[in-house]
Amino acid sequence: MGRAPCCDKANVKRGPWSPEEDSKLKDYIERFGTGSNWIALPQKVGLKRCGKSCRLRWLNYLRPNIKHGEFSDEEDRIIFNLFITIGSRWSIIAAQLPGRTDNDIKNYWNTKLKKKLMGLIPNSHHRKQPAPRPPLPRTASLPPPPPPSPPPPPPPQLLFPSSYEIQSYQQQQQQPPLPSTYSLPPLSKGCNFSYMNNNYLFTTDNSATTTTTTTTSSSAATTVSSVLNSCYEPFPIKDQDLLDFGSDPGSCSSFEQQQFQAATTMIKQEEGELQWQRDNNGQMMDAGFDFEQGIGIGYWAEKMSDCFGIDCSDYLSSSGSGSSGINWMMDHHAGGGSQLMVDQDEKGLYYF
């Protein structure tokens, strides 16, 4: 025995909404609200529609402040990063993009963004502007589009996911499903946030001043296998298993003394071979670290080779310190202002 239908499908209209229907529904809800009962709403409004259809039409199209049209690069990045982190939880993703609906984002992801990420189509900076399409009959009742917004600020240096991010996304497709329960930290407009679930760390923090990290379990902190960064500005990631090296001390996660001490203690306890370089004031030097004998440079070079397929022969032949190793990597593979991460648990090296 199947599930009982939510309405009498034989007596409800289906398919595209007419302007008259839109107008009726919109007027009614604006005057009286939904009454917290979508099933009963169509009868009150005088529509031969299923309640679910009315709800969908209102939420996705008629309600105020719905944003239509092209997605911005910033929206692209937010969608991408959230998708990587939490998967296809479209409603949660939509909650981070005011004016966008889950349906909108889902369609956008499936038709454009996913392909763009896989390199099938160029990113939006080379995006061919589509020719304006005449409104479909079903959209004939739309209000006129908002006036053109002022020109956007100049784009940041890098707008689209790096090769690492895309690689990570592709790898993530093979990962086991994310846990069904997770919690987002409270968000407020303009605040920075980051959180980590069992496999991924996510952050939108680009302020380099405050970062919150939420771990979902004690084991989460030891199973970090992937790191994503939604911006390309230096930022601190403070996590006990992720050491973040930026191009200056302020963008290194362990620069703060407390964090530094904790990380160093842990590393020395577990490995005993990682040693930080400090300047004369006892502060950690710019992106400086070194491996002591035993694993040392060989380990470092091996990991770079493992993770990135990088030929480290010229580094190995140099007489530089660990710091020059970072610089070598920055120069050769990441560019200025990039971040390097060392996953202590998996010995992984990541750069952005």
Partner DNA sequence: AATTCGACCAACCGCGACCGA
Partner DNA sequence: ATCGGTCGCGGTTGGTCGAAT
C-beta of 42 vs 322, nearer to DNA: 42
Kindly state whether residue 114 participates in binding DNA, applying the rule CB under 7 A.
no
Residue 253 gets which letter from DSSP?
G
- Sole window of 72-80, 90-98, 198-206, 265-273 interacting with DNA (rule: CB under 7 A): 90-98
C-beta of 179 vs 298, nearer to DNA: 179
> Looking only at Cα atoms, what is the longest distance across the chain?
82
Strand pairing report for 226-227 and 200-203: parallel
# binding residues, DNA (CB under 7 A): 50
Neighbours of 285 (CB within 10 A): 17
111: burial class by Cβ within 10 Å (0-12, 13-18, 19+)?
exposed
Kindly state whether residue 108 participates in binding DNA, applying the rule CB under 7 A.
yes
- Measuring CA to CA, how many Å separate 40 from each of 10, 49, 90? 17, 10, 27
Q: Look at residues 41, 71, 75 and name the one whose alpha carbon lies nearest to residue 56.
A: 41
Amino acid at 196: M
Residue 63 gets which letter from DSSP?
S
Kindly state whether residue 9 participates in binding DNA, applying the rule CB under 7 A.
yes
- Sole window of 106-114, 204-212, 247-255, 332-340 interacting with DNA (rule: CB under 7 A): 106-114
Give me the least distance between CB of 237 and DNA, in Å please.
26
119: burial class by Cβ within 10 Å (0-12, 13-18, 19+)?
exposed
Q: Which residues of 178-203 are buried (b: 16+ CB within 10 A; e: fewer)?
A: beeebebeeeeeeebbbbbbbbbbbb
Kindly state whether residue 4 participates in binding DNA, applying the rule CB under 7 A.
yes
- Sole window of 12-20, 207-215, 224-232, 301-309 interacting with DNA (rule: CB under 7 A): 12-20
Q: Which two tokens stand for residue 273?
A: 């071979």
Alpha helices in 131-227 (DSSP H): 163-172
Amino acid at 133: R
User: Residues 8, 11, 15, 98: which binds DNA (CB under 7 A)?
Assistant: 15
- Sole window of 75-83, 87-95, 165-173, 317-325 interacting with DNA (rule: CB under 7 A): 87-95
Kindly state whether residue 14 participates in binding DNA, applying the rule CB under 7 A.
yes
User: Residues 31, 126, 133, 189: which binds DNA (CB under 7 A)?
Assistant: 133
C-beta of 102 vs 286, nearer to DNA: 102
C-beta of 15 vs 98, nearer to DNA: 15
Give me the least distance between CB of 232 and DNA, in Å please.
26
Over the window 35 to 64, marking each residue x when it contacts DNA by CB under 7 A and - when it does not, the resulting string is -xxxxx---------xxxx-xxx--xx---
User: Residues 92, 159, 208, 266: which binds DNA (CB under 7 A)?
Assistant: 92
User: Residues 5, 19, 156, 298: which binds DNA (CB under 7 A)?
Assistant: 5
Give me the least distance between CB of 68 and DNA, in Å please.
6
Q: What is the DSSP string of 100-149?
A: --HHHHHHHIIIIIHHHHTTSS--GGGPPPPPPPPPPGGGTTPPPPPPPP
- Sole window of 102-110, 147-155, 238-246, 299-307 interacting with DNA (rule: CB under 7 A): 102-110
Kindly state whether residue 134 participates in binding DNA, applying the rule CB under 7 A.
yes
* Cα separation, 279 vs 288, whole angstroms: 9
Kindly state whether residue 126 participates in binding DNA, applying the rule CB under 7 A.
no
C-beta of 40 vs 191, nearer to DNA: 40
Kindly state whether residue 33 participates in binding DNA, applying the rule CB under 7 A.
no
- Report yes or no: 24 and 46 within 8 Å, Cβ to Cβ: yes
User: Residues 1, 3, 64, 98: which binds DNA (CB under 7 A)?
Assistant: 3
Q: Look at residues 299, 208, 256 and name the one whose alpha carbon lies nearest to residue 240.
A: 256
Contacts to DNA by CB under 7 A: 2-6, 9, 13-17, 34, 36-40, 50-53, 55-57, 60-61, 68, 88-92, 102-104, 106-108, 110-112, 115, 130-131, 133-134, 136-139
